[in-house]
């Protein structure tokens, strides 16, 4: 059992309450990644010698706020995530729950990153204040204190097969395997373009909260409106400095995999040998083949 912790809820600010050990990115994402893995584990993308059995968890929310988030997580998992991973999602109807879900995940990441930025003083006070104001807007929206999120925008992008690319680095970084078998989230401040974003990769579903758009941002068929809408998963395009940051994150992750120890490498090889039939019939193998087939223009 988890040790009980008393503190202030990060969302509703209720004091002296029991804090839940909350997943930052929802548990259903990591549960499926691990279930479909050959070894039964995930690996730290920047420390391949570390095996992971679950996603990041923090003492962050009181029980009521945890339940509030669980409601939209369940809807998202059933109406979008599992259908996408099964390859059957073509279109879906959504209501406010989708904006609430994206806001809830990326608010958690933003909240924790603000604490980190305050501690390490890695960004200016001016930039930090933009993040703090955005966090307050998202928090009030999640608590029902406001009906909109001001100029903030939520977007959802479904990672599709890549047939070819003019960027050899992207092809070599095995994007199908990277995006579809990992989950991560962080806040991006693009200094050169004055853009502010919070992104989360949910095993191939990229949800992005644009806190402040840059002048070069172009997002096609990704915007999540506040009302009831029908969403078609097709012809999505993103031109944004945040994508360059994500591609660099992917590249650094691949380079880190080269540092795996001989012991851990042998463990993986032995596990694959024992489960070779499972590997050849798996999503992982399918995405490995797709990575090999990417044409370099």
pLDDT at 37: 73
pLDDT at 253: 84
For the chain, domain boundaries? 5-296
pLDDT at 161: 87
| Distance, CA of 156 to CA of 139 (rounded, Å) | 20
pLDDT at 43: 60
| Distance, CA of 230 to CA of 179 (rounded, Å) | 25
pLDDT at 193: 92
Structure confidence by residue, pLDDT tens digits, 95-131: 999 999 999 999 999 999 999 999 999 999 999 999 9
pTM of this prediction exceeds 0.85: yes
The DSSP annotation for the chain comes to: -PPPEEE--TTT--SSEEEEEEESS-HHHHHHHHHHSSSS-EEETTEEEEEESS--EEEEEEHHHHHHHHHHHHHHIIIIIHHHHTT--SEEEE-HHHHHHHHHHHHHHHHHHHHHHHHH--S-HHHHHHHHHHHHHHHHHHTTS-SS-TT-EEEEEEPPPP-EES-HHHHHT-HHHHHHT-EEEEEEEETTTTEEEEEEEETTEEEEEEEE--TT-EEES-B--SS-EEEE--S-EEE-HHHHHHHHHHHHHHHHHTT--HHHHHHHHHHHHHTHHHHHTSHHHHHHHHHHT-EE-
pLDDT at 53: 62
pLDDT at 271: 72
The low-confidence residues of the chain, meaning pLDDT below 70, are 1-3, 38-54, 265, 278-279, 281, 297
Instruction: Return all residues near 297 (Cβ < 8 A) that are at least 6 apart.
Output: 164, 165, 166
pLDDT at 50: 64
pLDDT at 54: 63
* Residues paired with residue 165 on neighbouring β-strands, in sequence order: 296
Structure confidence by residue, pLDDT tens digits, 49-67: 666 666 788 999 999 999 9
């Amino acid at each position: 059992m988890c040790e009980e912790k008393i503190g202030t809820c990060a969302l509703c600010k209720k004091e002296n309450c029991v804090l839940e050990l909350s997943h930052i990115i929802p548990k259903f994402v990591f549960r499926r990644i691990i279930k479909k893995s050959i070894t039964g584990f995930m690996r730290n993308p920047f420390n391949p010698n570390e095996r992971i059995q679950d996603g990041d968890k923090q003492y962050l929310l009181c029980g009521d706020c945890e339940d509030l988030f669980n409601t939209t997580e369940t809807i998202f998992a059933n109406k979008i995530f599992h259908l996408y991973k099964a390859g059957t999602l073509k279109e879906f109807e959504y209501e406010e729950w989708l904006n609430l879900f994206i806001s809830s995940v990326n608010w958690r990441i933003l909240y924790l990153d603000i604490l980190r930025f305050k501690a390490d003083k890695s960004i200016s006070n001016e930039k930090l204040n933009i993040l703090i104001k955005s966090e307050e807007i998202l928090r009030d929206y999640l608590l029902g204190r406001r009906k909109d999120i001001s100029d903030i925008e939520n977007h959802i992008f479904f990672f599709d097969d890549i047939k070819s690319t003019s960027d050899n680095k992207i092809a070599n970084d095995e994007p199908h395997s990277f995006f579809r078998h990992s989950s991560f989230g962080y806040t991006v401040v693009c200094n050169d373009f004055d853009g502010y974003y919070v992104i989360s990769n949910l095993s191939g579903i990229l949800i992005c909260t644009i806190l402040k758009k840059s002048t070069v941002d172009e997002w096609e068929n990704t915007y999540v409106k506040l009302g009831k809408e029908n969403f078609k998963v097709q012809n999505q395009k993103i031109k944004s400095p945040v994508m360059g940051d994500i591609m660099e994150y992917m590249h650094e992750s691949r380079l880190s995999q080269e540092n795996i120890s001989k012991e851990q490498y042998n463990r993986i090889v032995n596990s694959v040998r024992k489960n070779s039939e499972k590997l050849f019939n798996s999503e992982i193998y399918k995405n490995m083949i797709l990575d090999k087939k990417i044409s370099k223009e």
